[in-house]
Each structure stands twice: as C-alpha cells, then as structure tokens.
Structure 1
C-alpha cells in the first residue's frame, strides 16, 4: 500500500473541515469566537417563551389531548431547526413553555403559530387607504388622486407549478403538459406590476377619544357592542357600502366612518368580512391584530392583507393545509431565489387543479377582475390567495391549470423558507395560542459542570494514553496520536454542525464523547492483539502488519457499525438529552472509523519499516519477539550439530 495517499486524504479532510469552521456562512467574530461550539440550555441558559391557549367558544379550556398534540407539533418544529434539545412542556391547563439555548428569541417566534393554510380565490382587492381616509383633505380642496390605489413596481410573491393545458384559448399561452386542451402558460406567477402601498403605522390611525363608548365588559365583543361604540350613523353608513369608496373622487367619503379606525383587532373581528373590506378606515394593522384563528373557517369568506399593505376580500377556501402531503424549502436556480415546494395529496391535487381551473376560466359573474388593479394582473384571470393564518403570503393571477407540484415564491431566504415549510409540514396546531414575552433563563447546570465534563474527558483520554504507553510502548504513540486527531476532528465537526444545523453540545453530549473513547480503544486492542497473534504464528513484524490489518479490519468495522446503529436507534426513539447523547456517540464513532482507515493503518505501515519497530523494548512487542526468536534459533542449533 501507499500510506502517504491515505494520510493526504486525511489532511485534506482536516483542512476542508476547518476552512468551513472559520469561513463558512455564519462564522463571525474573532478566531476564538469562530471556534466556540453551540452550547445547550443546561450549560449556558437560554430563552423561554410561554404560549397560552385560547379558551374554546364555550369558555372551557382546551382538552388535554389537544394540548398534548400541540406540544408534539411544537417540539417537532423546534427539532426541525436542528439538534437543539429544546424543552417543550405543558404547564397547567392552558400553557406550553418552550425553552431553547441562546439569548435570542428568533428561533421561537414562529413555533406557536397556528400555520392554518388556506387557498382562496380573490374576489376584490385594494390598497390599504386607512391612513389617507383618516386624514382627508379639506372639503374645499380639489379632489386628489393620492388615495387611489395605484400600481407599484415591486414584484408580488407568487405560486407556480406544473400545469396541464386549459380548454380556454389564450393568446399568451405557451407550452404545457397533457393533451386535449390548448396549453396555457405553465406559470401561475403574475409578472405585471403590483400595488405596493405600505401598511400605515399605528401613529397614522385615529386614536380612541375619551368620549368613545367603551365596549361593554364582555370578553369577546359582539357586533352589537361594536355598533354601539362607533355610533348609529357610522354603522348605517358602513352597512350601505357595497365596495370601497373611491377616495380620489370623494375624499370626504370616509369621514362618517372615522370611528371604525378606533376599533381594536378583537372588535374588528366581530364585523362581517364584507364590512372589514369595504370600510376604508379599517386598516391592515387592525386586521392583523385580530385574534389567531380569526379567518380559519374554510366555509366562510374572509378579508385579510398581505405584507405589502393590500387588503383582499376572498372566497371560501376550496383547498386547505391538510390537502398538502409535504412541503420543503428549495433553491430555484432558474428564479435565483428560495421557494417552498408543495406536493398535494391525491384528493388535494384534484381540489387544487379544480381551483386553478376555476380561476383560469373566469366567468362573467366572478367579478374578480376588480382585483387586477391592486394586485398587478391583467384582469383576464382570477387571483388565488395563499393565506397563512391571518396573512396573505401570495396572491398570483392564475395563468394555467396547475396539476402537479407547485411552489410558493416570495421574499424568502433559507431560514424563512425552512420555517414556512416546517409549519406546513408538521401541521397546524389544534389549539390557538398567544405568545407571551420572551424571558432569559439561567443554566440548570452551568459552566462549572461543563468544566467538570471536559475534565472527565481529559482524564479518560489520559488514562487510555498511560495504559497504552505502558502496555504497547511505541504502539501507544499511535493510540495517543489517533485520539488527539479524533478529538480535533470531532471538535471541528461539533462547531460546524452547531452553526449549520443547530447541533447543541450539552452535558449528555459530552458523556457521549467520553463513551466514544472506549469505542476507539477497542479498535486499538483488536488490531494490536491481532498483530501479536500473527507474530506468534511465525511471521516477521513487517509482514505481520498488513495481514493483521486484513484480519482485524472486519471486526473493527462490525463493532463500530453496531455502535453507530445503536446510536441511530437511540436518536430516533429518544427525546431531549438522550437524543443529544446518541448524536454525540454516533458522530464520534464515525470519526473514529475514519481515523482508523486514514491514519492508524497507514502510520502502522510506516512504523513497520523502521528499526525501532523491530526492537522488542521499543515496539511494545517484547514478549512476542523473543519467543519467536528462540523458536527460530532452536532448529538452527540442531541442524548445526547434525552437520
């Protein structure tokens, strides 16, 4: 063999790993900062958020079964971020407490979202004009078009997918899959400019005056409560509206409706979807402040806004989140952006095809062409809104009948695409939650236990090294160097995985690394004892090395494979700290197996060609070589006497 080749491969692995540690995405700060692993909640503390479940409509707390299901979904969402060993526990009847390591709460902000996805045909759309409606120009001023929805230049997020040809002819049609229908454009994106009016800030809205009638002391305001608060004149004016008033022609049209701008999100939720859309003084902020689950009813029409500040009145939901089989983040090379890819179930795919066919083959009674001005379409086909909880995340004009895999596109990065995919993938929460303030929690063990764990690892390695030098001498050097190399590679992998996948080092993980020292020592014992057996059988030390490797290799691979399989099974069936122990044990065992092939055997081959290896006192083969030498000399002496 050529040991230099294996050592070169190992050197390349080492260089690549530490280049990733120092220069891969997420590596920031000084060299020391970049070498710092991600530590767990028990060692450095972290962030804790309490999610409180909303009461049911009958005023009762959610069933325990629903709370358990919600806890499992939240834990799955956290674990999808990486091996973070988060603590997700039910506290009392209504609270779920989620704790993760670190001082930032970013990883927790989406864990408790309902993730109710609905696909709704957009019937009407307008730019949010609440700010302009609350501050109309003087009555004597000439009408201004400043409040009129206008098209912007920002491209809206969209959804696209594989489409079959449609029966409706289209001059813009190009290509398609299937047969019997004229092919439409297979993309459902809306390339035309879209409205981009920003949602008004809270300061731009009218604030409740001291004389405003307070909502009666009920936990959930009713429509009658809201009518009393805004007054009979404002309520009557709102009830007569059939669409959003054109403020460019009549800026004073919103004046009688000003008190609707004083409503809270809970009070706005008591209004009909039609009134929520038609009243211009109801802003996107008020709609977003509605309670979670406000528009989850798939059999009811709904009003919601997208992040660009466009208000939409939408049809009943004909495709829902449970119709989706899987969701995954992908980087679309053609579009140069992150997307969320959707695969529908069999029934869901049919519903999705029917919905896109209905939107594409628009009828005269749809009226959905009214949305084209605000959403940037050409008015030839309807738009379909993808609604997540209370927010429209995409509203493309459908330009084909989509029958295959579809993609949600928008202003996603890798992290936000992953979060959305995980929310869809792991399902909607059966209970609606409200997130409390994020709190910093102190470590349950702390740095003292971390130092104790590292000290235990150092003592374990030192004992193995002392025993190896005492028993194997020169061969003990191979053991010591292998352990050092395994430790350096394991540490680099730990730092990189913590940054790339969220792998978190806890005290249980340190225990896994300590146990792996015994696995590594077993590999040495198997190899070196096999080497002694070969010498006992009459082979020279140099010829015994390759033969001992061949015979020990299978045993080493089998032993390490069993350890890795045990770690995988333990990782799958366990939770929390035990999962971290299994991950650390499996990682260390894999690295040890790599060191066996790329370092231990090549270095032994090189040692076998040295004079020191043939010396019984230096090589550690002292009891084997003299016995073999005496057995070789006895036949030579008898042959000399006979001569």
Structure 2
C-alpha cells in the first residue's frame, strides 16, 4: 500500500499551504498597488458622509397613460433629462440613477443650493422651438478675409443632446433628389415633408462673418435683431469649454438665447436663437418611423390644436427666409437637439427627414414626445447633510467599529490565547481586501461608502470572527477526542468548512435579497454586507486554513503550550485508561 504524500492530511487537506498563502498575499499586494496607481487611495464617500443632498423621486404615469408607461425605456429617458438638468447647475460628480423599477435617486454633492436643485430635478424639462438666427463653429469666431464663415460638417440628429443642423449660406441648398416627399400614413392622411435636416453650410461672399450674428432683414422676419451684448456673447462663446457651455441657454422663453450642439462628426457648434415660438407641451406625439417611399428613417410629429396654429404661423414665416434663418432649433434644456430647415408651411402634422439611423430617429422622437419628463415624478424624500455633520457621522461610525473590533480581539485573546494571533491576522487580511476593493469600486462602478455601508462593514467583523471560532472549536473537539494537533487541524477542517459555507451563504442570500428589494441608502448596507461575506470565504479558505496548517507544525502550537489555546489539559483531555484483567466476582446462588 502506497504511503500518503508528505504534508497532505487524511481529509484532503492542503499539501502546500505556503503556496496558498503566497497566492493571497500576492493578490493583496496587487490590489494595493492598483489602488495607489489609480490615485483613489480612500473610498469614495456618500452624500451622508461627505455632505450634500439626496433626492428620491418616485415615478408614476402621466394622466391618460397606463401603468406600463413606467418602464425601463422611459426611466432611462428621464434619467438622461434629469442628469442634464443637474449638470446645468454646474455640479461636479453628481449621480443620477434608477433604483428598482419606479425610483430615481439624485445625489448632489455639497455646495449646491438645495431649493434650486429640487426645482431642477423634479420639474418638467423645458423643450422649446426657437427660430435660428445664426450658426457657427464651436471656437470663438474670427472673421476671415473673405467674410465667409468657416464651414462645419453637416449635422445629423443623434443621442440627446444632438444637433440637427449647421448652415451658413445665404440660401438653403435644395433638397437632394432622394429626399423624402410627402407620404401617406397608415391612416391614409398625407404627411407634409416640409422639415429636413439642414445640409452642410456653404460659404457665400454675401454671408456675414460667423462672429457677427445677422438678424433676419427680409419681410416677414420672425424676430428683431438681438442686442449687442448677446451678439458679443455669441462671438466669444466656445462650446468646447464645459464651463462656458454650462452657462448658456438659461433664458426666458421670450428672450433670444445662445445655445450649443454637437454635430455628427463630434464637433461642437453654437447657435444664436430667437424667442421661443412653441414649447414641448404643444407637441402631442412624435416617433421615429421608416418612410415607406424612401426606406429611410424619419421623425413624425403631431401637434395639439393650439400647437398646430403656432406651428403653422412660424413655418409660414421661416419658409420665406434665407439660410440659416429658415431653420428652427429644437432646444431641450438649453442645448439644441435638432435644427431642421423649413421648406413649406406646415400645421398639425410634419416630419423631419435626413440621414437618421434607427436609434437617432427614435431618440429625437423621444425628445419631442417628452418635452416634459416622460413620467410624473414626486419627491419621496429629500435629505441634506452638511459636511460637518457628515464628518461627525463618519467619526462616530469609525469609533463604533473600533470598539467592536477591540471587544472581539479581547474575547479572542482571553478565550483562545495563542489562536487569537491567527484570528487577528485573518481580520487584518480581510480589512486590507475590503479597503482596497472599496477604494477601487468607487471610480469603477460609482460605489460610495455611506453610513449604512459603514454599519455593514462593522457587522461583517462579527461574521468573519464567527468563521474563525467555528474552525477553532472543531480543532479543539478533535483534540478532546485524544488526537494530536496536526491530525486535528486536518480532520476538523471538512466539518468546519461545511458549517462556514452554509453560514456565509445564508448571510449573502440575505444581503442579496435586501439589495434587490430596497432602495436608497439601505442598498449600501446590503452591498457592503454581501461583499464582506464573500471576502470572509476567501480569507478563511486561502489565509486562515493554510496559516493554521503551518503553525500546527511549530513547537508552540503543536506541543500544546499552555498559552497556545490548544493545551490538552485546559481542554479537559484525560489520559487513556490502562486495560486490566477483570476478576470475576462469585455469583451467589439464588434461592428457588
């Protein structure tokens, strides 16, 4: 019969525990190095610790909509609109995300007025139709010797915010031969094809420099010339600068305004726009569809009764203007989503044609349909935390964690003595893995350590210590049965392993359910609890067990030193009794 390999226990223990320890130590070093390399050496703090405002919005259908309107598509559209609105406040590192099926969480860092933030995220997004007075490239315009504007690439609507047009000539280019013509809908009604994405601008000797906006001068002009201050703002505007772009577009509907957009080639363009002629409430419905005649994607718009009258009036005027004054900008929250030009007078129904893809046509249709947010949102809760209060909460959480950890260590030292060293080293390994992962998950997935998450980390100390206790007690049970330490370490591991896995599985399952069914800050507690539970399994299997195997080979632990925590006398192990021959006792005869 072949002898068992050296170092391998009778229960399938690890034959080379040193390699396993080296593996987890290398992983810890790699995570620590990645943390320092990324520059994020501390976990990202949540609003309740760093200070700021958290707004929880609950979605419900618009009047006349069914509950099915609260779906993933509409929620994603709402998140995009609200995110643009929050960014319009000049907020950095703001977070807008869905939680569950009906909630949107808006986290705004400190330094932002709470009342202004609440108005921005909870109110209807503003969609306006404004006539275009001038278009230019994104850089501050400089007049060329010929007086012609620098041409920019043709624009095509894309994901919001997306441009619709860029034109700089005196006259709109005629539509291409393949441009969609009036078509018939499924209901049999003709659809006017009076709107088309503006072509690429062409230089013209008579065109004013792009830095000097020119107002319409022909009869039927829709707006008066903008004032000199707005003209200077348009000339100096650089849409490629985030700070400058964040300050434009904030004007009353009756005022002229400058706005930015990005064309199909990814270049920023700036627009000078007149007062709003329509708003998002005038659009009854809009959607991206395929033109049956051309096979191209187009966007169909239906207006309300009041919107039809306004649209007919503005398109009648714009169709008589030269380019770019024959365009109107569809402006969502201060950015131009599209800027088609008008070829004829339109009223109740119109279509926008151009080089649309399916996605860009559907995105523009969503923008037009949801000039307001696609759903109604009401505030479920608004929480504002100052930086000072957040710092106090963080300190209180850390103190509570330190007290809990100290009590656990005191108990381990008092009861397990030398075995407490293994438990403390395992807790340190778990702490290093938890800290580095939390620091890396901040920039990776946006994880922020809030106060409930700190509570989850504190609870995890007890869960991790419980795993050590289970293993230690199994070893001590084996010693009580008369085995020496090295066989006891290997024989106690299979039973301890089974108990640890079942316990951690129940803990992780509870964390997963809590993460799924809750919203808000409670999810931070559930996420941290689940993460630390997984790390507990890693540490016990790859650190505690091999470390215990190595220390069992030392004289201090293997010899059962009184301070090792494995002293047979302290564990109540009695020496085996000597076997002796029994003397049979005489049996008294029984009486009959």
- Output the CA distance in 2 between the equivalents of 1:566 and 1:458: 25
Match of 2:26 in 1: 12
Which residue among 295, 320, 337 is the counterpart of 1:357? 295
Of residues 37, 40, 45 in structure 1, which corresponds to 2:46? 40
Q: Secondary structure at 2:535's aligned position in 1?
A: helix
Q: Counterpart of 1:466?
A: 410
Q: Which residue of structure 2 aligns with residue 499 of structure 1? A: 443
Q: Does 1:128 find its partner at 2:139? A: no
SS in structure 1 at match of 2:389 = coil
From 303, 313, 318, the counterpart of 2:287: 318
Q: How big is the shift at 1:611?
A: 1.8
Q: CA offsets per residue over residues 475-496 of structure 1, 9 Å max, x none? A: 1111111112212221222222
Q: Distance in 2 between matches of 1:528 and 1:83?
A: 47
Where 2:45 maps in the other structure, the secondary structure is: coil
Q: Is the 8 A contact 1:47 1:100 kept in 2?
A: yes
- Taking structure 1 as reference, are residues 630 and 591 closer, same or farther at Cα in structure 2, changes over 3 Å only? same
- Asked if 1:266 is matched to 2:253, the reply is yes
Pair 158,77 (structure 1): closer, same or farther in 2 beyond 3 Å? closer
Provide the C-alpha distance between the structure 2 equivalents of 1:260 and 1:512, rounded to a whole number of angstroms.
59
- Asked if the contact 2:48–2:385 (Cα under 8 Å) also holds between the matched residues in 1, the reply is no
C-alpha separation between the residues in 1 aligned to 2:94 and 2:493? 36
Q: For residue 604 of structure 1, report the CA deviation from its aligned partner.
A: 1.1
**Is 2:566 the counterpart of 1:621?**
yes
The answer to whether the aligner puts 1:588 opposite 2:555 as a matched pair is no
CA distance in 2, matches of 1:563, 1:48: 29
| 1:500 to 1:455, Cα distance in 2 relative to 1, 3 A | same
Per the TM alignment, residue 614 of structure 1 is displaced from its structure 2 partner at its CA by 1.9
| Contact 1:613-1:619 at 8 Å conserved across structures | yes
Counting only pairs closer than 5 Å after superposition, residues 282-361 of structure 1 correspond to structure 2 as 284-286=271-273, 290=276, 294-295=279-280, 297-299=282-284, 317-319=286-288, 351=289, 357-358=295-296
Task: Report how far residue 126 of structure 1 moved.
Answer: 8.5
1:428 is aligned, of 369, 374, 377, to 374
- Structure 1 residues 534-545: aligned runs within 5 Å: 534-545=478-489
- Alignment partner, residue 247 of structure 1: none
Do 2:78 and 2:375's aligned partners in 1 also have CA atoms closer than 8 Å? Answer: yes
Aligned to 1:152: 152
2:132–2:273 contact (8 Å) kept in structure 1: no
Deviation per CA, 1:111-145: give whole Å up to 9, x if none.
55856999x9xxx9985389xxxxxx9xxxxxx97
Q: 1:117 to 1:476 in 2, by over 3 A?
A: farther
Q: Where in structure 2 are there 5+ consecutive unaligned residues?
A: 1-13, 63-69, 87-91, 138-142, 160-176, 179-196, 231-250, 257-269, 299-319, 341-351, 582-592
Q: Is the 8 A contact 2:149 2:209 kept in 1?
A: no
In structure 2, distance between residues paired with 1:50 and 1:540: 60
Question: What is the aligned-residue RMSD (CA, Å)?
Answer: 6.2
Compare CA radii of gyration and give the structure with the larger one: 2
Confirm or deny: 8 A CA contact 2:290 2:297 kept in the other structure: no
8 Å contact 2:96–2:107 — kept in the other structure? no
The one of 469, 472, 477 equivalent to 1:525 is 469
Maintained 8 Å contact 1:6/1:602: yes
Q: How does 1:119-518 map to 2 (within 5 A)?
A: 127-128=134-135, 146=147, 151-152=151-152, 158=158, 240=220, 257-258=224-225, 265-267=252-254, 284-286=271-273, 290=276, 294-295=279-280, 297-299=282-284, 317-319=286-288, 351=289, 357-358=295-296, 391-393=335-337, 428-430=374-376, 442-443=386-387, 445-518=389-462
Change beyond 3 A, Cα 1:290–1:394: closer
Q: 1:579 to 1:533 in 2, by over 3 A?
A: same
Q: Which runs of 5+ in 1 are unaligned?
A: 28-33, 57-65, 89-95, 131-136, 138-143, 160-169, 172-189, 207-233, 245-253, 270-282, 300-315, 320-350, 361-369, 375-382, 410-419, 434-438
Q: Offset of 1:153 from its aligned partner?
A: 5.2
2:510 is aligned to: 566
1:105–1:527 CA distance, 2 compared to 1 (3 A): farther
TM (norm. structure 1) is: 0.51
Change (3 A) 1:294 1:117: closer
Q: 1:266 to 1:402 in 2, by over 3 A?
A: closer
- SS of 1:100's equivalent in the other structure is strand
- Name the CA shift for 1:568/1:605 in 2 (closer, same or farther; >3 Å): same
Q: Distance in 2 between matches of 1:537 and 1:294?
A: 84
SS at match of 1:604: helix
Q: 1: distance between equivalents of 2:454 and 2:294?
A: 53
Q: How far apart in 2 are the matches of 1:23 and 1:198?
A: 52
Higher helix share: 1
